[in-house]
Amino acid sequence: MSGIFVAAATGIAWCFCTASASLCSSWCGNDKPSTMPPSATSGRKRAVLLLALSVVVALIYQYALAPNYDRISWQYLSDAWTSGCGDELSEELMQVCSGNAGVYRAASAAFVFFVIFGIAAKCRPTSNREAWPAKYVLFLFLCIGTIFIPNDPVFIPIFIWVARVGSVIFVLLQQLVLVDIAYNWNASWLDRSDAAEMEEGPGKGKKWLGAILASCGVLYVASLAGIITMYIHFGGCSTNDTFISITLVASLLCTAVQLVKSETGSLLTSACMTLYSVYLCGAAVSKNPNAVCNPKLGETSTWSIILGLGIAFISLSWAGWSYTTEKRLGGAGNTVDDNDGDNDGQDEEKPKPGGLVINNESTTYGAADSPPEAANQSSNPASFGSSWKLNAVLALICCWYSMALTGWGAIEKRGDIANPDVGEVSMWMLIASQWIALLLYLWSLLAP
Output the DSSP codes for 222-242. HHHHHHHHHHHHHTTSHHHHH
In 3-state terms, what secondary structure has residue 297?
coil
Average pLDDT over residues 418-446: 81
- How large is the C-alpha radius of gyration of the chain? 25
In 3-state terms, what secondary structure has residue 442?
helix
Place 382 in a pLDDT band, splitting at 50, 70 and 90.
very low
Residue 125's closest CA among 434, 386, 409? 386
In 10 A of CB 309, how many CB atoms? 18
Distances (CA, A) of 272 to 418, 419, 438: 30, 27, 11
Q: What is the DSSP string of 313-355?
A: HHHHHHHHHHTT-HHHHT-TT----SSTTTTTTSPPPPPPP-S
Q: Which residues make Cβ contacts (< 8 Å) with residue 367, sequence separation at least 6?
A: 346, 347, 349, 374, 375, 378, 380
- Output the pLDDT for position 349: 43
Q: How far is 402 from 367, CA to CA, in rounded Å?
A: 42
Distances (CA, A) of 354 to 329, 368, 447: 8, 19, 21
Lowest mean pLDDT among 5-9, 32-36, 56-60, 313-317: 5-9
Distances (CA, A) of 229 to 92, 218, 285, 350: 33, 16, 12, 48
Secondary structure of 46-78 in the HEC alphabet? Answer: HHHHHHHHHHHHHHHHHHHHHHHHHHCCCHHHH
Q: Which residues make Cβ contacts (< 8 Å) with residue 33, sequence separation at least 6?
A: 338, 339, 379, 381
More confident: 35 or 183: 183
Q: What is the pTM (predicted TM-score) of this model?
A: 0.68
Q: Are 275 and 438 in contact (CB under 8 A)?
A: no
Average pLDDT over residues 14-25: 49
Residue 317's closest CA among 384, 404, 383? 404
Which amino acid appears at position 66 of this protein?
A
- Output the pLDDT for position 14: 47
Q: How far is 175 from 153, CA to CA, in rounded Å?
A: 32
Q: Are 265 and 446 in contact (CB under 8 A)?
A: no
Q: Which residues make Cβ contacts (< 8 Å) with residue 11, sequence separation at least 6?
A: none
More confident: 347 or 302: 302
- What is the pLDDT of the chain when averaged over all its residues? 74
Q: How far is 137 from 144, CA to CA, in rounded Å?
A: 11
Q: Are 379 and 343 in contact (CB under 8 A)?
A: yes
Bond preceding residue 38 cis, omega within 30 of 0:
yes
Task: Check whether 389 has a pLDDT greater than 50.
Answer: yes
Q: Which residues make Cβ contacts (< 8 Å) with residue 109, sequence separation at least 6?
A: 54, 57, 139, 142, 143, 145, 146
Q: How far is 432 from 328, CA to CA, in rounded Å?
A: 23
Task: Check whether 175 has a pLDDT greater than 70.
Answer: yes
Q: What is the DSSP letter of 64?
A: I
Degrees, nearest 5: CA angle 42-45-51: 140
- Output the pLDDT for position 385: 58
- Output the pLDDT for position 156: 86
- Output the pLDDT for position 309: 56
Q: Are 360 and 199 in contact (CB under 8 A)?
A: no
Task: Check whether 66 has a pLDDT greater than 60.
Answer: yes
Residue 212's closest CA among 178, 242, 182? 182
